[in-house]
Homo-oligomer: A and B are copies of this chain.
């Protein structure tokens, strides 16, 4: 029951076709969302308003293709479509229903670009520490782009060669939001956070071995960052970092 239906009901009361008491009864039992009193689902809006997203992991290629097809045929929508955690097989299936689909094997992302509109106000810089952090960084880059943001990539600027990072201070200071993907000791966001005055979203990666404990070392490092403009998302969650960055960049 949406606002229109409620209005109809109220008109029926107005016209004495329905008694106030039975109107109350109907109001009492109407499903929550349908009444349309409030736009509850900002979350869905957040994702779907700017890009349609499919989380590929755990889905069969056929399922992913079917969902993509449904998204593409939705009327009036020209949103970009993004499939994360996909593989070559899933891409092949998607390719059959979306000729323009592209596969990014490093990050396992499939993109179907339909809109080039830039909705983010500034630039999002995606910084990564080592070559093995690139898959996560790329997931962030592609997600941010598909959501309508300008993105600058600064890869392989880990803290053990600090000059590499310092060379790019200009790109850092020009960004409106920064995403920092780093594994191992996860020190990069602290250094970057100290160099800029904008929000830094830290993404620990599961890079490394031994005492990296699947990214836990980097995660803890980032949570304990001594830079006060750093927040953290889940290990390997390049997609989530880009969602938040995009959300900040539209403010």
Contact = CB atoms under 8 A, between A and B. Distances in A.
Q: Determine the interface band of chain A, counting residues with CB < 8 A from chain B.
A: 35 or more
B209 A236 contact: yes
Contacts of A47: 228
B20 A3 contact: no
Counting every copy of the chain, the complex holds 8
Nearest to A20: B10
Interface stretch (A70-78, A86-94, A111-119, A196-204): A196-204
Contacts of A186: 185, 187, 221, 224
27 contacts: A3-B28, A14-B14, A32-B166, A33-B163, A40-B169, A41-B194, A43-B195, A43-B229, A47-B228, A129-B226, A159-B159, A159-B226, A160-B226, A160-B227, A162-B195, A176-B251, A184-B225, A185-B186, A185-B187, A185-B224, A211-B216, A211-B235, A213-B220, A223-B235, A228-B244, A231-B241, A248-B251
